[in-house]
Structure 1
Amino acid sequence: MRWFSIVAIAVVVSLVGCSSPDDVPAISSTESRAESPDRVQRVRDDIDAAVASGVSGVIATLTENGETTTLAAGVGDRATGVPIPAEPPQQVRVGSVSKSFIAAIVLQLVTEGRIQLDEPIDTYLPGSIVGDSVDGRVITVRQILQHRSGLPEFADSPEIDEYGAALDGRTFTPDDQLAIALRRPAQFAPGARFTYTNTNYLLAAMLVERITGRPYTDALQDRIIRPLGLTGTYLPATGEHDIRGPHPRGYAPINGIRTDVTRIEPSVPWAAGALVSTGDDLNRYFLDLVAGKVVAAPELQQMLAALPTGVDGMPEYGLGVMSAELSCGTSYMAILTRALCP
């Protein structure tokens, strides 16, 4: 089975008041020796099309046979109109890609015999998951990693606003987030179906902390970031609103107005979505992951054993990763913006 890694991140999205294509700078790119020029061109065409459609900027990092190519299109700051540079590697908030890192650490702990996937979460976090039709004694660790727990979604609550929290100086603890989630009833009985829910990975990171006896950031650093040499990857601390390294600005519509939302409060998404990384680092991580350098083979097989989600347009979901197989036999992880056959 062949894996080809492309990480493409639409880093500066403008859905309101978009410029015309003529107002957006042409693609800026750097290229190392590429094994598949046609594939690189197709990705280049894709990101140019994204910018033409109104996305302010895109960075795409392609790695194949040990060679990496970085492409960039559009602007990294709408105020200045400066194009996104392809080099040095740009740091961006990678959102729910963060969940794969949590799942990998949990599976490392499974390998070590410290967690069992089919054990109830209450075994490890006793008495913590109790609410309206919510009972941690009948929700397994595997169901949490698969988004099949039925737990309510903390991110549905109005106070969960990472941009607004940064403006107001509000912060959250994982216990705060869990309490917010448990105000709501369960979405369904454990195992009944798939529903993507951030609360699952909030709990998974809390599980890592309980088992290791250390902050999640320490486990992340010691188990993945440092061993793999991911020099551009980190989980921001509570109150750390800015991105540390070179980065583009990020925009989103708020009340119909395109707003710079680059600065956020990272304790809101926390481990489930606040990770900062680069395309280079993410490609290294995912290629090392499927090569068995992050998670041991038996647990990696379970991680990649994806089930149908029952959601139109959504690939199958394993443990912290989506995946699918193309008609040409190439497998890909669905965090990738485009999967290309050789």
Structure 2
Amino acid sequence: MKRSCTRLRRGAVMTVAMGVLTLPVAGGAAATAPPAPPSPSASVSEGGFRPLTPAVKRQLDKAVRRVMREAGVPGVTVGLWAPGKGRYVRSFGVADKSSGRKMSPDLSVRIGSETKTFTVTALLKLVDRGAVRLDDPIGAYVKGVPNGNVITLRQLAGMRSGLFNYSEDDDFFKALTSRPRRPFTPQQLLGYAFRHPVQFPPGERFSYCNTNLILLGLVIEKVTGRPLRDVIREKVLVPAGLRHTSFPVGAEFPKPHPQGYTSQTASGKVEETADWNPSWAWAAGAMVSDLEDLRVWARTVATGVLPGGRTLIGPATQKQRLTTQPTGIVDVGYGLGIFDVRGWIGHNGSLPGYETLTVYLPAERATLVVLLNTDIDHDGSEPSTLFGDAITKIVTPGNVFDLRAQPAVK
């Protein structure tokens, strides 16, 4: 099992995966007021979105099958939508290798670090209400946090806190892989993180870290006096009309769902994961969703606008969410629980046995969702990134989704 940022890590961005990404970037401490954000598609090259003609769909079929074959992916579902350009929804392979049950678009999956977009949205709704401020120190809400008097909620959401990532702790790794069905509490997770010194002064650089989201989840619970899952359901899922998205308490997993396959195990052998307990990821990666809900959520989280035109997040707060900082990967920035990969706005997710990618391209009002039932890397890259890269090379050659680190140009 790779000790990345959760593989959840991977939950994120870069494969260095947003989960694993701990690449240092230049820059000093973040200012109290955020800089004016670039356009979400500022890094976009010209090229547009190719109409989804039968010929283009055949190209996509071929590309998806190639990635499946090369990366050893059992099953994958791809959804691609663009107004006036068509839609492409296909499932390939199997949901369960033992039974041969086919992958299909109606299956629920564990979404890993895409959970971060929901947790941060719940936080931003509290910001809109004036219940919290992004530049409040975490120490005002949670005691015992190293550097808690200077690390802000903004730095936690933007992955610039300097805290140690609990999912990279050796004892956590042993505990999770020896008993993957055991429950973890947020306090236990923070215990693994806080035994380590801070990695750098807050705001100094980007480093993807699940500890940050555990803390933000606790902030939401403290301010509202309610469980995080209830706040997310009432304030985010219900307004957005997401009826098949949930925050499990333990290992519950709505049916139908695919079996998951991972090599992140004590033995290093591939094991099935559908009944593993995702509580170890909590506010950073425990949620479940499906293709249709993620299609809706892609646009909602990227724009702050609900289906029907009402706002989920106020425009000024949404602008702060989309204010990105460098990550160490060319043309990839990270905002508040969300990334911008060459114009594609959203997040990816990776949990043992499952990976997802949900992104929106504002310039074309296009949505891409990828769901698969393995998190086993191929040549150091997450399979969700490989699918995103292969698909966007065909339909948006000017906006290729590539999270793989690029070598520095000297």
Say whether the fold is shared (TM-score over 0.5).
Answer: yes
Matched position secondary structure for 1:277: strand
Question: Do residues 249 (structure 1) and 254 (structure 2) align?
Answer: no
Distance 1:325 1:315 in 2: 6
Aligned to 1:55: 73
Distance 2:331 2:200 in 1: 20
Distance 2:237 2:132 in 1: 21
Aligned to 1:74: 93
For residue 302 of structure 1, the aligned residue among 298, 302, 320 is 320
Q: CA deviation at 1:106?
A: 0.9
Distance 1:226 1:114 in 2: 21
CA contact (8 A) 2:331 2:342 kept: no
Question: Do residues 155 (structure 1) and 167 (structure 2) align?
Answer: yes
Aligned to 2:110: 93
Question: Do residues 113 (structure 1) and 123 (structure 2) align?
Answer: no
Distance 1:147 1:183 in 2: 19
CA offsets 1:225-263 (integer angstroms, 9 cap, x no match): 11112111101113xx24112111111123242211222
Question: Do residues 210 (structure 1) and 222 (structure 2) align?
Answer: yes
Distance 2:123 2:281 in 1: 19
Matched position secondary structure for 1:58: strand
CA contact (8 A) 1:163 1:263 kept: no
Distance 1:187 1:135 in 2: 11
Distance 1:39 1:304 in 2: 31
Matched position secondary structure for 1:316: strand
The AA in structure 1 aligned to 2:334 is: Y
Matched position secondary structure for 2:130: coil
CA contact (8 A) 1:322 1:333 kept: yes
Residue identity over aligned pairs, in percent, reads 32
Question: Do residues 289 (structure 1) and 308 (structure 2) align?
Answer: no
Distance 1:270 1:180 in 2: 14
CA contact (8 A) 2:113 2:347 kept: no
TM-score (norm 2): 0.67
67-76 or 52-61, which deviates more: 67-76
Aligned to 2:372: none
Q: CA deviation at 1:292?
A: 2.6
Distance 2:253 2:276 in 1: 9
**Matched ranges for 1:166-315 at <5 A:** 166-167=180-181, 170-238=182-250, 241-253=251-263, 254=265, 255-293=267-305, 294-310=312-328, 312=329, 315=332
Distance 1:36 1:232 in 2: 27
CA contact (8 A) 1:315 1:322 kept: yes
Matched position secondary structure for 1:138: coil
Greater relative contact order, per chain length (Cα 8 Å cut-off, separation 6+) = 2
Matched position secondary structure for 1:196: coil
Cα RMSD, aligned residues only: 2.4
Distance 1:110 1:175 in 2: 24
CA offsets 1:260-307 (integer angstroms, 9 cap, x no match): 122211221112111111121112012122333221111111111111
Q: CA deviation at 1:117?
A: 0.9
Matched position secondary structure for 1:45: helix
Aligned to 2:147: 135
TM-score (norm 1): 0.79
CA distance 1:223–1:45, shift in 2 (3 Å): farther
Aligned to 2:39: none
Runs of 5+ consecutive residues of structure 2 not aligned to the other structure: 1-10, 12-49, 306-311, 349-356, 358-387, 398-410
CA contact (8 A) 1:165 1:171 kept: no
